[in-house]
């Protein structure tokens, strides 16, 4: 019998056990320092060299690139390795799903990746670690080495549109899946949050694993408030076992 397609939408809450703070929780960065939003807002970033300088310093101090996958990331990868069709749609930019063992082609990064940089002029991409090495060496605002254009993190900043191809693939998966698990997401940021509703409308079993209530709780078949680091591995192990049992 064909195994059900499992879609997993992951938000910041799945990575907090890896030492990466969330942004919108009770103690999230945007609540503690609304001014920090300017550093990742496209218009401010492109028009103000001082904002770019501060943004590069923020990235230099950021521990995201040093973070390791946690039990929740590993549980997702293990489910995929067990033979269950799994697709990850993530709002995170940390790359931890791939580091945990999920094939990159099965991970859709809605908001881009903090592990790369992109030139805003010629669109050439490079590794963030090399750009940060230039900052460490004394460049306040390292330009593109190809054309001299402004470099930015390959993440979707405030004021930028999501990649329509990536969003289209995420929408198709949400419509096709039999199980949709939203984990560690406030489900407040559109259009990502709306994927949970799309999945439910197309008959998927909707499971929400999150510490705080979400706008989609009333559409969910199951809502889990337990800590993600233990709750998600338990849920996915059960799901894997169910897929192995005779139908």
Active-site residue, selected from the candidate residues 97, 111, 123, 202: 111
164 is catalytic: no
Instruction: Quote the crossing angle between the two packed helices 228-244 and 71-81, to the nearest 10°.
Output: 10
Task: Provide the annotated active-site residues.
Answer: 111
């Amino acid at each position: 019998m064909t195994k059900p397609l499992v879609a997993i939408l992951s938000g910041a809450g799945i990575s907090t056990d890896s030492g990466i703070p969330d942004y919108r929780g009770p103690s999230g960065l945007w609540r503690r320092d609304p001014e920090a939003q300017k550093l990742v807002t496209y218009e401010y970033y492109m028009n103000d060299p001082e904002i770019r300088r501060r943004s590069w310093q923020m990235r230099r101090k950021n521990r995201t690139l040093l973070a390791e996958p946690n039990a929740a990331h590993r549980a997702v990868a293990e489910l995929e390795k067990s033979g269950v069709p799994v697709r990850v749609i993530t709002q995170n930019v940390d790359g931890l799903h791939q580091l945990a063992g999920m094939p990159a082609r099965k991970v859709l990064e809605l908001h881009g990746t903090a592990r790369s940089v992109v030139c805003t002029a010629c669109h050439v991409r490079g590794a963030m670690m090399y750009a940060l090495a230039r900052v460490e060496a004394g460049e306040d605002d390292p330009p593109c080495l190809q054309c001299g254009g402004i470099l930015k993190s390959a993440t979707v900043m405030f004021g930028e549109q999501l990649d329509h191809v990536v969003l289209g693939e995420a929408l198709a998966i949400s419509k096709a899946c039999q199980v949709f698990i939203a984990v560690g997401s406030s489900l407040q940021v559109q259009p990502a949050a709306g994927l949970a509703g799309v999945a439910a409308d197309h008959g998927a079993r909707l499971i929400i694993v999150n510490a705080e209530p979400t706008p989609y709780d009333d559409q969910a078949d199951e809502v889990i408030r337990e800590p993600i680091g233990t709750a998600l591995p338990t849920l996915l192990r059960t799901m894997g076992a169910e897929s192995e049992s005779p139908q």
